[in-house]
């Protein structure tokens, strides 16, 4: 059998450090996550099986990835000033997504809000030093949550270029040297009792479309007035807990704001949207690589008319399309990661530019749509075996649909791509 690594990768652009890290991460995933992933669905609430695996990926006695963004001066790996940040993010997403995309998103979302305060040239050294011991000195997995979505507006908050935060209802009021936060967030990854630290998009002036009134404020989960609801039971992604969060007169120090007026909105657009897209692409391609592995085994061992299924013209056409799609999507995913990386001077566009936002949204939508289509085709090839959990296809099939829907879904991806390519002014 060919390896899934036969699919295209721009080897000349992948750093030796990323190649080595991939192999270390892959070995751990193969030995510890792959054998248990079919049991994740029943562990969606308690995470008794899942939590020790997070410790192995994230904690200090494992790989220690939760400290990767922090500067070396405070005990981290220093990825926040690496020229290969996009490449590392994509590699982590693809490798872990191959096993379980729910596990991948819970792990990567811990790094997601930290991007806004730990990546040059926007390092907030006071917060870096204050939060470093929590993440850098723990043998247990420590989780962060990016608390964006609100019940009334869904992903409106992510549509910052057009709406500029005017639909945000979670408020932050400065009283002396404290922010007082009130509001309700819905669906953030790593909630339902998981998150130790939350990044909360707020408005300092409800209804304002002035970027200065957009505030990104960090809130430790054990702060008085923070209430996390019970996790929702979803179609899939059992390793990712999602719930409601209520903030009732929550008080945090004034310096827990990421940066300040104007800059908070800038770092949100610069890091959260493009790297969220890159991470999503990596998870999708990782799942598709595992689809190839499982599909290869099925069509090689099952027969029709006394020949392996793959030797049947109709089946060959379908699986050939799937292989071709994976090849193209993997190239696109790596290309997106290189747009993020500072070493790639030819791109030369700021990460918060309409071009980078539009292109990475477009890329994420293409890969998500292709993955959803190809998993549907694979289910057709497997027939009744497609719903058999022993083949793992149905697990990815359920999970990847959620990746297609998050961060504003297909619609926001289409709108932001259209804004750039067609110079739209009202979308």
- How far is the CA of 20 from the CAs of 16, 25, 74, 92, in angstroms? 6, 9, 24, 12
| Cα first-last separation, the chain | 48
Query: In whole angstroms, what is the distance from residue 283 CA to residue 157 CA?
Result: 23
Domain boundaries, the chain: 4-143, 145-261, 264-422
- What is residue 52's three-state secondary structure? helix
DSSP per-residue string spanning 385-416: GGG-GGGSHHHHHHHHHHHHHSTTHHHHHHHH
Asked whether this chain's domains 4-143 and 145-261 adopt the same fold, the reply is no
To the question of domain 264-422 being in CATH 1.20.140.10, the answer is yes
* Banded model confidence at residue 350, pLDDT cuts 50, 70, 90: confident
pLDDT tens readout for residues 197-210: 999 999 999 999 99
DSSP 196: S
Query: In whole angstroms, what is the distance from residue 326 CA to residue 4 CA?
Result: 10
- What is residue 198's three-state secondary structure? strand
* Banded model confidence at residue 3, pLDDT cuts 50, 70, 90: confident
CB atoms within 10 A of CB 333: 27
- Is the overall model pTM greater than 0.85, yes or no? yes
* Banded model confidence at residue 342, pLDDT cuts 50, 70, 90: low
pLDDT tens readout for residues 209-236: 999 999 999 999 999 999 999 999 999 9
pLDDT tens readout for residues 306-334: 999 999 999 999 999 999 999 999 999 99
Look at residue 412 in the predicted model and tell me its pLDDT: 87
* Banded model confidence at residue 344, pLDDT cuts 50, 70, 90: low
Strands 171-175 and 144-146: unpaired
Query: In whole angstroms, what is the distance from residue 272 CA to residue 279 CA?
Result: 10
Task: Quote the strand ranges of 287-417, DSSP E.
Answer: 303-304, 307-308
Question: Which segments of 302-385 does DSSP mark as H helices, in order?
Answer: 313-340, 354-382
* Banded model confidence at residue 271, pLDDT cuts 50, 70, 90: very high
> Which stretch, 28-37, 148-157, 347-356, 402-411, has highest mean pLDDT?
28-37
| Nearest C-alpha neighbor of 165 from the set 198, 210, 199 | 210
Q: Which fold has domain 145-261?
A: Butyryl-CoA Dehydrogenase, subunit A; domain 2 (2.40.110)
% of the chain beyond a pLDDT of 70: 98
Q: Which fold has domain 4-143?
A: Butyryl-Coa Dehydrogenase, subunit A; domain 1 (1.10.540)
Look at residue 381 in the predicted model and tell me its pLDDT: 96
């Amino acid at each position: 059998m060919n390896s899934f690594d036969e699919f295209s990768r721009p080897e000349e652009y992948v750093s030796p450090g990323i190649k080595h890290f991939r192999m270390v991460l892959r070995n751990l995933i193969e030995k510890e996550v792959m054998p248990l992933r079919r049991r994740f669905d029943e562990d969606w609430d308690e995470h008794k099986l899942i939590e020790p695996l997070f410790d192995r990926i994230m904690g200090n006695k494992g790989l220690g990835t939760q400290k990767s963004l922090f500067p070396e001066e405070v005990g981290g790996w220093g990825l926040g000033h690496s020229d290969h940040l996009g490449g590392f993010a994509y590699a982590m997403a693809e490798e872990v997504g191959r096993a379980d995309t729910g596990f991948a998103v819970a792990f990567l979302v811990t790094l997601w809000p930290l991007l806004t305060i730990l990546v040059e040239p926007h390092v907030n050294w006071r917060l870096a030093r204050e939060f470093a011991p929590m993440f850098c000195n723990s043998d247990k997995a420590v989780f962060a949550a990016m608390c964006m979505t609100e019940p009334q507006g869904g992903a409106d908050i992510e549509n910052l270029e057009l709406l500029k935060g005017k639909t945000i209802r979670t408020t932050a009021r400065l009283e002396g040297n404290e922010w007082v936060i009130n509001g309700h967030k819905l669906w953030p990854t790593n909630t339902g009792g998981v998150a130790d630290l939350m990044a909360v998009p707020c408005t300092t002036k409800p209804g304002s479309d002035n970027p200065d009134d957009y505030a990104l404020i960090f809130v430790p989960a054990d702060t008085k007035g923070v209430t996390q609801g019970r996790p929702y039971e979803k179609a899939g992604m059992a390793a990712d807990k999602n719930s409601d969060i209520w903030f009732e007169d929550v008080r945090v120090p004034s310096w827990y704001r990421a940066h300040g007026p104007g800059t908070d909105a800038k770092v949100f657009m610069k890091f959260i949207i493009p790297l969220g897209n890159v991470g999503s692409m990596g998870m999708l391609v990782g799942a598709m690589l595992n689809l190839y592995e499982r599909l290869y085994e099925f069509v090689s061992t099952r027969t029709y008319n006394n020949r392996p299924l793959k030797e049947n013209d109709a089946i060959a056409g379908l699986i050939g399309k799937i292989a071709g799609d994976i090849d193209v999507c993997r190239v696109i995913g790596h290309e997106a990661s290189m747009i993020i990386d500072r070493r790639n001077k030819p791109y030369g566009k700021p990460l918060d530019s309409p071009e980078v936002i539009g292109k990475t949204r477009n890329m994420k939508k293409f890969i998500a749509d292709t993955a959803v289509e190809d998993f549907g085709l694979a289910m057709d090839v497997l027939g009744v075996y497609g719903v058999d959990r022993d083949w793992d296809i149905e697990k990815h099939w359920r999970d990847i649909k959620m990746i297609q829907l998050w961060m504003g879904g297909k619609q926001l991806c289409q709108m932001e791509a259209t804004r750039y390519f067609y110079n739209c002014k009202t979308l």
